[in-house]
Structure 1
């Protein structure tokens, strides 16, 4: 639970990165890490990072802001691809099947 106020330097939080499981890894040797910062109105707030490579995922309801890095999210159902870069705000819906391709280590703050 968040206290009355929370301030954190999300761009510089140390994250423990682990290899993406083989069942999700599509190319390269991507690693991911997450730290939960707390919750707000029933949703988790946290920081997530992925190093270069590609992986598949099934999304939860989520809003995020890209802090740094670059990549794409491809939506398997439609074939549409969304470019990601610093400052982008994105809404994902539960159940969407995606392919994340990161070209520069990508860090985001999420609410899910």
Structure 2
């Protein structure tokens, strides 16, 4: 399942290219909170700050250079405190 702009509740996705079955793109979210159900994705934060919290209670602090693996079906809560920009590879 690809990440499409329509799947993002408060962020903006900009697909750049496809690499086999994967989509490569950028995503940006202004400060605020969002709840999401994830697709298979790996991303690296380019700019901004915030946290992503998983249903199991794991919290990852997001900052430039942080890499994260998301798995399809995971439910997350994103809290962005400084406009967040990431580059992603999603299936």
Tell me, in whole angstroms, the C-alpha distance in 2 between the residues paired with 1:32 and 1:42.
23
Q: Which has the larger radius of gyration?
A: 1
Aligned-residue Cα RMSD (Å) equals 1.2
TM-score, length of structure 1 as denominator length: 0.71
Higher relative CO (Cα under 8 Å, sequence separation at least 6) belongs to: 2
How many pairs does the alignment contain? 83
> Hey, which of these two has a bigger chunk of strand by percent?
2
TM-score by length of 2: 0.87
Unaligned runs of 5+ in 2: 1-7
**Separation in 2, partners of 1:86, 1:53:** 18
Please give the alpha-carbon distance, in whole angstroms, between the structure 1 residues aligned to 2:14 and 2:69.
20
Residues 50-69 of structure 1: per-residue CA shift (max 9 Å, x gap): 00000100000000010000
Runs of 4+ in 1 over 4 A off after TM superposition: none
